[in-house]
Amino acid sequence: MIHHSRMSAHMKGDFVVFLIGMRINDFWKIHRWIPVINAMGRMLKELYNNKELGLLHHEMGFGRTFIIVQYWRSMDQLIAYAKSKDSQHLPAWKEFNQKIGKDGSVGIWHETYAVSDGNYENIYAHMPPFGLGKAGTLEKVQGTGESAKERLSGRWS
């Protein structure tokens, strides 16, 4: 459903934004980068099947560089998942390092941001629920929430 009103997303409490992705450096080496994509698919499936692990939502963008924006309930849950011997992550990381590691055909990266309660802002217009709007709660922008500065200061509801 597309919301034609100006909407803003809210999240109760602190949360984490985790950006992760890969870059195809040698496009013709499909046997190198397809396993990375497949491993991420397995991890996302595992995370959605086990909500208690902490993933709230994700969005993806594709091109030569793939990006996945993930919203997590807490830093502790993200780190616990990354280190868990029972999750899909460690085997995928081990396989990447053994099979691709230093050959340079595939680049991988991530960035992690701990977001404290109220220290973020966003706007969505003519959009279906997306990004933080799917991870949190969407509300129609009203009153003094018309500018980014006002939304960031939390002076509206």
Asked whether the predicted pLDDT for residue 22 surpasses 60, the reply is: yes
DSSP letter for each residue of 21-73: EEEESSTT-HHHHHHHHHHHHHHHHHHHH-GGG-EEEEEEE-SSEEEEEEEES
Classify residue 33 by burial, with Cβ atoms within 10 Å: 0-12, 13-18, 19+: buried
Percent of the chain with pLDDT over 90: 82
Single-letter code of the amino acid located at 52: E
Give tens-digit pLDDT for 33-81: 999 999 999 999 999 999 999 999 999 999 999 999 999 999 999 999 9
Asked whether the predicted pLDDT for residue 156 surpasses 60, the reply is: no
Residue 3 tokens, joined? 């919301």
Mean pLDDT lowest for which of 25-39, 70-84, 95-109, 142-156? Answer: 142-156
Domains of the chain, CATH where assigned: 15-115 (3.30.70.100)
Contact assessment for residue 152 and residue 28, using Cβ atoms and an 8 Å cutoff: no
pLDDT band with cut points at 50, 70 and 90 for residue 144: low
Contact assessment for residue 7 and residue 124, using Cβ atoms and an 8 Å cutoff: yes
Q: Higher-confidence residue: 154 or 20?
A: 20
Asked whether the predicted pLDDT for residue 151 surpasses 80, the reply is: no
